[in-house]
Homo-oligomer: A and B are copies of this chain.
């Protein structure tokens, strides 16, 4: 049985736990602000019941598939079809059984906590996954999925989501967002996020094709550099009209470069002809990050920067099963020198804002907190991806608070495509922040009433303010 203790993740010392409990009481019921994630808005538009536990909890979640793969389970046994179409793909009940048989491997991981919280609190089936109970649990979940109160829109409301940001292709017509806005029976707030990576990095396969798409979407000739810039600005406008408040950028590194218009134009032309050198392509990518900053000064969209992952580390997995299967591995990154050109030009601009995320913890105290502790435009993003865990969140606060305080951090960002895990993820962040704050209280570094106020800031006020909702 899953038995979610009301004190879970709170510190063990009795007097500190008492403080943490009081802080947590002040934030546990606050609405959820989700400024960055990967939920498909069509799920809310269509509001269809969930298919089955495998397709909800296993197959699309690379946190889960990577861990099972690490235990020796082939990806097709997890319901992921081979790209060529050949081979058997396990059916959903079999996929679910495989997860349940390997449940022990998830001990100590946040994936286990999120899924157990979803089972117990979202679907009210508090059975711990195991080989013995796999079928029972599967059947109970399928029963739940059929009921109206477990459809996406009902859950959105039950979860108390105040605003949910999705991640979208710049050429997208945002039809699902439009559909939701036009639906009188829908009262939630779901906003798109402008994610132009594929357009800004000419070294990525398919760049030219995506430029053409962009041109069609914007009604502009993107075969020339000025048209390309104009089309990007146009699509940003389109996104803002559909509620977007932010852009999102995931380059391999945070290098920024200030090219002249002429230099940039020259590389753009060469890149379209496949004549640009790797150094030129990289400079162009760094330049376009600065261009995005320039446009943010104009239109107020908040930049989010998520650098430092080597995508598709295992080429055979990408070839056979596609991307986002758990084979993305972080690398060390450097922010201080890399961001200097961008911040030199835009760091002091009153309208500019950039939120910096990292998978390299060493940058927290060394680079990111000092940057956020000087530049008015720079905010420290919450622990992200591999670091979106109780212990890493605590390390984050310990590493950055001394230098940047609380007010220059972004508040929690769930970054998930697993819609039903959203409450458990935000709840985890709230508990951990209360645990951290309770230590400051019992060490007499913060009064308890200040800690309550700070906890509410972190859970609700800061993400609203930082992401301009």
Contact = CB atoms under 8 A, between A and B. Distances in A.
A361 interface: yes
A445 B107 CA distance: 8
Interface stretch (A7-15, A138-146, A168-176): A7-15
Interface in A394-413: 395, 398-399, 401-408
Interface stretch (A64-72, A150-158, A419-427): A64-72
Interface stretch (A204-212, A238-246, A269-277, A382-390): A382-390
A107 B406 contact: yes
Contacts of A331: 334, 336-337, 366-367
B375 A108 contact: no
Given A12-B13, A405-B106, A329 B454 contact: no
A386 B369 contact: yes
Interface in A342-396: 343-344, 347-348, 350, 359-362, 365-367, 369-376, 378, 386-387, 389-392, 395
B310 A336 contact: yes
Interface string A7-37: 1111111011000000000000000000000
Contact of A70 (B317, B374, B395): B374
A460 interface: no
B445 A405 contact: no
B375 A443 contact: no
A406 B105 CA distance: 7
A70 B408 contact: yes
A347 B316 CA distance: 10
A257 to B, nearest CB: 16
Contacts of A310: 336-337, 340
Interface residues of A, number: 89
22 contacts: A8-B444, A9-B445, A12-B15, A12-B442, A70-B372, A70-B373, A70-B375, A70-B376, A71-B376, A72-B350, A104-B450, A107-B407, A107-B446, A107-B454, A310-B340, A316-B348, A329-B336, A329-B370, A332-B334, A332-B366, A361-B362, A366-B386
Nearest to A391: B398
A43 interface: no
B386 A402 contact: yes
B440 A402 contact: no
A348 B316 CA distance: 9
Contacts of A317: 348
A406 B445 CA distance: 27
